[in-house]
């Protein structure tokens, strides 16, 4: 008597009635490219497929296998209707959508064949961190494209803007990585790449380039910005289609409406995967931008630790690294550092000894077995290495102590700030930024806070992004002085054609602990900048 699994194991042949029929069709498609099932099928289906195929043909039945782990309830138990230890899938889909559910599952440990405790919060997080930012990026493009009556041409223009070149390079790198991982059937490495790109597109590219979409008329730089964002969203949507099919279809049709050409596919799912454009890849620019992002994150942490908000400018930022070539790459993005960290000046310094003391420590899990009883003595000798010796170790990758050669995997290097410095570091780079604003810096920061409150009010009363306004304001002498000193900036950022002290009563807000009151009146057709006091 044969195990009933042998019926399933004969599927590749039986479903085509081989060898009695479809001989050529079967042989052209055997072995299969892949087989996919749960981990519990290892002894069942996978095994009998392999045994029968090897027995009959001397070949495996499939070239690749995709195994998913078992889904458990959040409490680690088997999902059970009796225990009611899970939320019904339809309820979650009604709340967050099928795409969020799908993304959560294919981005989990399940696709690596590992058990996964299903969490409703994980589905919610996918909607919040991936789907919503992606849709918001599309909405941003749609709003401003309609405002300027912009339409996308068939080809991307060659942009000279460094941010455009970076995000388009990252797009090509994304497509190359997805192709490579899919060819290797590393499906668990695909969604994290897509999520990282959405983060870069929304939290870095769009946020840093919003002003380019606000300008009057259609300049060449504005055309580059529109085309870059459109091209990025278009190819991202095609790449996301297998992972989030419903939202991808919706965004695809919205993007089609922004095209000048009519010969487009009826569905995103009828499109080919976007081809990488090799000449747009700039690996050095991508690395430089990554380092700059690290510096920005360190600067934000420094401000947060010292309680100094981002809207208050600071005098200086110093970027510190031992390799001058790395600093030279970051210098091209100096303007970005100034804007993002709101500093007046940026310096780059390779003399790390003026800021940081380098210390080494043994990597105990790696060296414990190797050194055995000699470990305590080598621990002492490693920790005695001075900063110059540790820097030489970082430069060469090795250090010799009492006849033993240690590599980068054997030692852990720690960066300890020198006393009286304002240094923060991560594993790659360090910065020094004193968080002591001057009175002038504080007034400028207050003007930025005022802009924030007016922009919130614009949104609350649902003004169009291009609506010009008149603003009447009142507040403490300190706030009045700040707005007066930076009136051009406040007017420009809020699209105010008139900005004047008065006796308002509409909006009462708090700015750095002080009351600020202002009225907003929509302007009747005045050009931007007219009537600003």
| 165-178 tens-digit pLDDT | 999 999 999 999 99
Residue (of 172, 188, 37) closest to 105 by Cα position: 188
E strand residue ranges, 87-207 = 116-117
Nearest to 337 by CA among 291, 306, 305: 291
pLDDT on residue 341: 93
The rounded distance, in Å, linking the Cα atoms of 146 and 270 is 27
**Across all residues in the chain, what is the average pLDDT?**
88
Span 518-532, average pLDDT: 61
> Pick the residue with more confidence: 289 or 353?
289
Q: What is the pTM of this model?
A: 0.77
Q: Quick check: 12 and 61 in contact, CB under 8 A?
A: yes
Contact 122, 239 (CB under 8 A): no
Percent of the chain at pLDDT > 90 equals: 47
Answer whether 356's CB lies under 8 Å from 428's CB.
Answer: no
User: Residue 274's pLDDT is what?
Assistant: 92
Which H/E stretch holds residue 472? strand 469-475
pLDDT of residue 420: 63
Q: Do the beta carbons of residue 476 and residue 447 sit within 8 Å?
A: no
With 90 as the cut, is the pLDDT of residue 141 above it? Answer: yes
Count of other CB atoms within 10 angstroms of residue 325: 8
pLDDT of 533 > 50? The answer is no
Minimum mean pLDDT range among 218-227, 355-364, 438-447: 355-364
For residue 150, is pLDDT > 90? yes
Domain coordinates in residue numbering, the chain:
5-68, 121-281, 284-353+433-437, 356-417, 440-522
Q: Are 299 and 433 in contact (CB under 8 A)?
A: yes
Displacement of CA 343 from its chain's centroid (Å) = 24
Dump pLDDT digits (tens) for 70-99.
888 888 888 888 888 888 889 999 999 999
Rounded Cα–Cα distance for residues 117 and 109 (Å): 9
Under the banding of pLDDT at 50, 70 and 90, the label for residue 530 is very low
User: 110: pLDDT confidence band, cut at 50, 70 and 90?
Assistant: confident
Q: How many Cβ atoms sit within 10 Å of the Cβ of residue 525?
A: 7
- Rounded CA-CA distance 479/510 in Å is 11
Element (H, E) at 499: strand 496-501
pLDDT at residue 529, rounded to an integer: 35
Segment 69-78, tens digit of pLDDT: 888 888 888 8
CATH number assigned to the domain covering 121-281: 1.10.730.10
- Report, as an integer, the average pLDDT of 167-193: 93
Per-residue pLDDT, averaged over 473-481, amounts to 93
Can you state the angle between helices 98-106 and 245-256, rounded to 10 degrees?
Answer: 120
- pLDDT tens readout for residues 299-311: 999 999 899 999 9
> Which H or E element spans position 344?
strand 343-349
Beta-bridged to residue 522, according to DSSP, are: 469
Residue with tokens 């470990």: 375
Q: Average pLDDT in the 1-17 region?
A: 78
Q: Can you give the pLDDT at residue 116?
A: 87
Cβ atoms of 188 and 66 closer than 8 Å: no
Res 44: pLDDT: 82
| pLDDT for position 472 | 95
Indicate the range of 184-188, 271-275, 524-528 predicted with least confidence.
Answer: 524-528
- 215-240 in b/e form (b: 16+ CB < 10 A) is eeeeeeebbbbbbbbbbbbbbbbbbb
Per residue in 235-276, pLDDT tens? 999 999 999 999 999 999 999 999 877 778 899 999 999 999
Which DSSP category does 508 fall into?
Answer: E
pLDDT given for residue 392 in this prediction: 84
Q: What pLDDT, on the 0 to 100 scale, is given for residue 353?
A: 79
């Amino acid at each position: 008597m044969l195990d009933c699994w042998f019926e399933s194991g004969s599927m590749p042949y039986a479903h085509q009635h081989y060898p009695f029929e479809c001989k050529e069709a079967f042989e052209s498609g055997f072995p299969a490219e892949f087989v996919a099932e749960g981990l519990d099928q290892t002894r069942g289906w996978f095994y009998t497929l392999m045994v029968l195929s090897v027995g009959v043909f001397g070949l495996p039945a499939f070239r690749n296998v995709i195994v998913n782990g078992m889904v458990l309830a959040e409490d680690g138990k088997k999902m059970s209707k009796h225990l009611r230890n899970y939320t019904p899938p339809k309820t979650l889909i009604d709340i967050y959508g099928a795409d969020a559910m799908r993304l959560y599952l294919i981005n989990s440990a399940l696709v690596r064949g590992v058990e996964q405790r299903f969490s409703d919060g994980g589905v919610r997080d996918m909607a919040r961190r991936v789907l919503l930012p992606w849709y918001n990026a599309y909405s941003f493009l749609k709003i401003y494209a309609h405002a300027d009556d912009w339409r996308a041409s068939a080809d991307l223009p060659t942009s000279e803007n460094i941010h455009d070149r970076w995000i388009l390079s990252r797009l090509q790198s994304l497509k190359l990585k997805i192709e490579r991982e899919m060819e290797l059937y590393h499906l668990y490495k695909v969604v994290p790449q897509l999520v990282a790109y959405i983060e870069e597109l929304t939290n870095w590219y769009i946020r840093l380039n919003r002003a380019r979409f606000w300008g009057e008329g259609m300049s060449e730089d504005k055309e580059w910005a529109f085309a870059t964002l459109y091209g990025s969203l278009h190819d991202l949507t095609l790449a996301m289609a297998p992972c989030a099919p419903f939202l991808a279809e919706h965004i695809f049709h919205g993007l089609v409406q922004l095209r000048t050409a009519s010969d487009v596919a009826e569905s995103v799912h009828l499109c080919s995967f976007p081809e990488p454009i090799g000449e747009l890849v700039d690996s050095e620019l991508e690395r430089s931008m990554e380092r700059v992002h690290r510096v920005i994150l360190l600067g934000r942490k420094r401000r947060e630790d010292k309680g100094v908000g981002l809207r208050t400018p600071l005098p200086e930022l110093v970027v510190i690294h031992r390799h001058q070539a790395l600093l030279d790459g970051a210098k091209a993005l100096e303007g970005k550092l100034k804007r993002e960290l709101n500093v007046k000046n940026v310096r780059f310094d390779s003399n790390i000894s003026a800021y940081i003391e380098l210390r080494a420590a043994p990597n105990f899990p790696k060296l414990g077995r190797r050194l055995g009883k000699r470990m305590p003595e080598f621990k002492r000798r490693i920790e005695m290495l001075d900063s110059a010796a540790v820097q030489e170790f970082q430069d060469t990758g090795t250090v010799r102590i009492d006849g033993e050669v240690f590599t980068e995997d054997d030692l852990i290097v720690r960066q300890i700030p020198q006393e009286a410095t304002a240094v923060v570091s991560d594993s790659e780079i360090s910065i020094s930024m004193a968080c002591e604003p001057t009175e002038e810096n504080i007034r400028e920061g207050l003007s930025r806070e005022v802009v924030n409150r007016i922009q919130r009010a614009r949104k609350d009363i649902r003004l169009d992004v291009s609506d010009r306004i008149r603003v009447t304001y009142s507040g403490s002498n300190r706030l009045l002085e700040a707005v007066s000193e930076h009136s051009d900036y406040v007017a420009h950022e809020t699209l105010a054609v008139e900005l004047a002290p008065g006796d308002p009563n509409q909006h009462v807000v708090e700015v750095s602990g002080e009351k600020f009151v202002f009225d907003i009146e929509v302007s009747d057709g005045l050009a931007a900048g007219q009537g600003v006091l």
